[in-house]
């Protein structure tokens, strides 16, 4: 049977271990939040933001970026919790993909003369996103331009 001193020492060590664990957990959380804030600040710098020719596209792009930041923050908070939230993380990742894809389409539409006709042509083609992406965009612009000319005549 352990003596009273040994029992007190074991309890003190256990309490110290719990305190350290709690302290490190909160420190990890704080550092993660600071890291996320720093990343958001870097993303929001004016030099990294694309210049839009159409005002509406710029506004939609900015709103999408803000929603994307919130989705990414939620994902990082959920990732730090129990594995029961795995499905929620999957859904948030899917939302991130969709917002990123939509912002890509906004950038394409903003740079093209035929605006959203190019995006419609681009989306009709179920092609992989690889190094030939630029060629496909140019072909989509050409098809959209031809359709517009045919419609006008």
pTM of model > 0.85? no
What pLDDT, in 10s, does the model give residues 69-94?
878 877 777 776 666 577 777 778 88
- Given the structure tokens 């912002």, which residue do they identify? 103
What pLDDT, in 10s, does the model give residues 91-138?
788 888 888 888 888 888 887 777 777 777 776 655 546 657 767 777
Which residues constitute the domain of residue 3?
1-48
Angle between helix axes 86-111 and 116-124 (nearest 10 degrees) is 130
> Could you tell me if residue 151 is inside a domain?
no
> Could you tell me if residue 34 is inside a domain?
yes
Please state the domain count of the chain. 1
The pLDDT of residue 60 is: 84
Asked whether the beta carbons of 106 and 51 are under 8 A apart, the reply is no
- Given the structure tokens 């923050």, which residue do they identify? 73
> Could you tell me if residue 115 is inside a domain?
no
């Amino acid at each position: 049977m352990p003596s009273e001193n040994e029992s007190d020492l074991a309890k003190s060590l256990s309490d110290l271990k719990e305190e350290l664990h709690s302290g490190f957990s909160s420190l990890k959380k704080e550092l993660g939040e600071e890291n996320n804030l720093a990343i958001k600040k870097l993303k929001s710098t004016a030099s990294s933001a694309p210049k839009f020719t159409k005002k509406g596209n710029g506004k939609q792009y900015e709103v999408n970026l803000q929603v994307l930041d919130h989705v990414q923050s939620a994902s990082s908070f959920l990732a730090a919790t129990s594995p029961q939230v795995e499905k929620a993380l999957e859904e948030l990742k899917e939302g991130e993909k969709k917002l990123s894809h939509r912002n890509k389409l906004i950038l394409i539409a903003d740079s093209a003369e035929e605006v959203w006709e190019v995006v419609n042509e681009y989306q009709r083609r179920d092609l992989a996103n690889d190094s030939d992406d630029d060629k496909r965009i140019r072909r989509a612009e050409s098809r959209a331009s031809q359709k517009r000319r045919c419609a006008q005549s």
